[in-house]
Structures are given as structure tokens and as C-alpha cells.
């Protein structure tokens, strides 16, 4: 949080950042390719310790081979491992997907549930993954506390919390629910493209004047411009 900043000033600054990120990334969206909530859920599980681009290289074949939860539950382990090897940690992810498919069949009729309290009971699905599925699979407003949103919300002074659920609550309180899904995408895109964990491109950031963490990365525009990644998978 910014010392001495009133609640009103914080809300105004946060919403201004969101608006300017919207101008910078007018097409911000979920970068995991998917056609339905099940595909999004599977892709999100695969994205752990991987990149969206890498996941997107394996999911077309994966989704064609296992088009529904029943097919996923009955998958041959060796074949599934081979298909998802490029995403890393393929043995653990294979185990998670097999259990996930079985749980969906046994408890939800093969359908991905559309409630947070149900999603988090599925194998390998935590609150962050559940919010990804709810927001981008069902259009349910939520704050997705992935690594980028956590990092940027703290840099922006929107919160000083460290636990994802606390960050989710504090950040969500700054914006109307109608803005939450777009906010997720904008902040994540900014974290991937400019506000990196190491050496953020401060000198090439359009919201630098609104950011209390300005200076954590190079402030010289020419130096910072070389750190911008467009696009990043």
C-alpha cells in the first residue's frame, strides 16, 4: 500500500491503471486455447510450471484424442504421458488428469461444475485454477490470483497481502465485479509483457507515473524498451 494514500485515492488510482492497461491491451484475453470449460480446465492444469504457448502446442491432439471426461478418465497412462511431455512434470500432470477425469464422471456426470465450491474439490484444482475456469469458461466474475496478478497488485500498491485469498479479496474490492474478468487479463498480459518479475520494463510502462514501484527496473526508455516482450507465450 502507498503510505498516506486515502481509500478514495487508492480506488481512483487503481481504476485509472486498469483503464490505461485496457487501452494498452484492448484484446487481452485468456491465452490458453480452449473451446469449452473442460478444455480450459485441462489446459490450466497443464500450464503449471509451463507456458501457455507450450500448452497450446499439445492440446489440439490431446483434446481430439480425449474429447470428454470419460475418455480422459479411461486414457492409457503411457499414451497420455507422451502427449503432454512438452509441458513438463508430465508424470504428475498425467496422474492429475486421470484423477480429474474420473472425478468429473463419478461426481458431476462428466460435466465441469460451474461453482467454486465444487471445482476446488476436484483433484489438482485449487482456487486459482477454479477462478480461471469460472471466469473464462463460464463468465463468472472472479479475481484470478496467478503469479502475475499477485506480483503486480503488490507493485501497484493495491494490496500488501501475501496470501492469494486475501489478495483476491482486497483487489476485488477496488473494482466493480463487472470489471474483474477484463482486469485479470490486462494485468496478466502486462506482467508477461512488461512488468516482469526480474527487471520490469519501467521506462517503457504507460502506467509508470501511477506505480509506486517505479524504478524496480530500468527507467531509461531505450533500455526498458528492449525488455518488452510482444507477444509472449
d(CA 157, CA 66): 43
Among 146, 177, 179, 226, the active-site one is: 146
Distance CA 9, CA 7 (A): 5
Based on C-alpha coordinates, what's the Rg of the chain? 19
Q: Write the CB contacts of 134 (distance below 8 Å, at least 6 apart in sequence).
A: 114, 116, 119, 140, 142
**DSSP summary character for residue 99:** H
Nearest CA-CA partner of 174 in 192, 194, 157: 157
* Per annotation, catalytic residue among 128, 160, 163, 220: 128
CA dihedral 152, 157, 159, 161 (to 10 degrees): 80
Active site residue 146: yes
- 128 carries an active-site annotation: yes
The angle subtended at Cα 188 by Cα 96 and Cα 3, nearest 5°, is 120
Eight-state DSSP code of residue 165: H
CA dihedral 93, 96, 101, 106 (to 10 degrees): 180
Quick one: angle between helices 7-24 and 180-193, nearest 10?
70
**Which grid coordinates belong to 95?**
496422474
- Cite the active site residues: 128, 146
Amino acid at each position: 500500500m502507498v503510505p498516506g494514500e486515502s481509500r478514495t485515492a487508492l480506488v481512483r488510482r487503481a481504476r485509472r491503471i486498469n483503464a490505461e492497461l485496457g487501452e494498452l491491451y484492448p484484446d487481452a484475453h485468456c491465452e490458453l486455447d480452449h473451446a469449452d470449460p473442460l478444455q480450459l480446465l485441462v489446459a490450466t492444469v497443464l500450464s503449471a510450471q509451463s507456458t501457455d504457448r507450450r500448452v497450446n502446442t499439445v492440446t489440439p491432439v490431446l483434446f481430439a484424442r480425449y474429447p470428454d471426461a470419460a475418455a480422459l478418465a479411461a486414457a492409457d497412462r503411457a499414451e497420455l504421458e507422451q502427449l503432454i511431455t512438452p509441458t513438463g512434470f508430465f508424470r504428475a500432470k498425467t496422474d492429475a488428469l486421470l484423477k480429474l477425469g474420473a472425478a468429473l464422471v463419478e461426481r458431476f456426470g462428466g460435466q465441469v461444475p460451474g461453482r467454486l465450491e465444487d471445482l476446488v474439490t476436484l483433484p489438482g484444482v485449487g482456487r486459482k485454477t477454479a477462478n480461471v475456469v469460472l471466469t473464462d469458461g463460464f463468465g463468472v466474475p472472479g479475481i484470478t490470483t496467478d503469479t502475475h496478478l499477485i506480483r503486480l497488485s503488490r507493485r501497484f500498491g493495491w494490496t500488501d497481502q501475501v496470501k492469494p485469498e486475501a489478495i483476491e479479496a482486497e483487489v476485488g474490492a477496488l473494482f466493480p465485479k463487472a470489471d474483474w474478468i477484463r482486469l485479470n487479463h490486462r494485468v496478466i498480459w502486462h506482467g508477461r509483457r512488461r512488468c516482469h518479475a526480474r527487471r520490469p520494463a519501467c521506462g517503457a510502462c504507460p502506467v509508470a507515473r501511477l506505480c509506486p514501484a517505479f524504478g524496480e527496473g530500468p527507467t531509461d526508455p531505450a533500455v526498458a524498451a528492449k525488455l518488452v516482450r510482444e507477444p509472449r507465450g
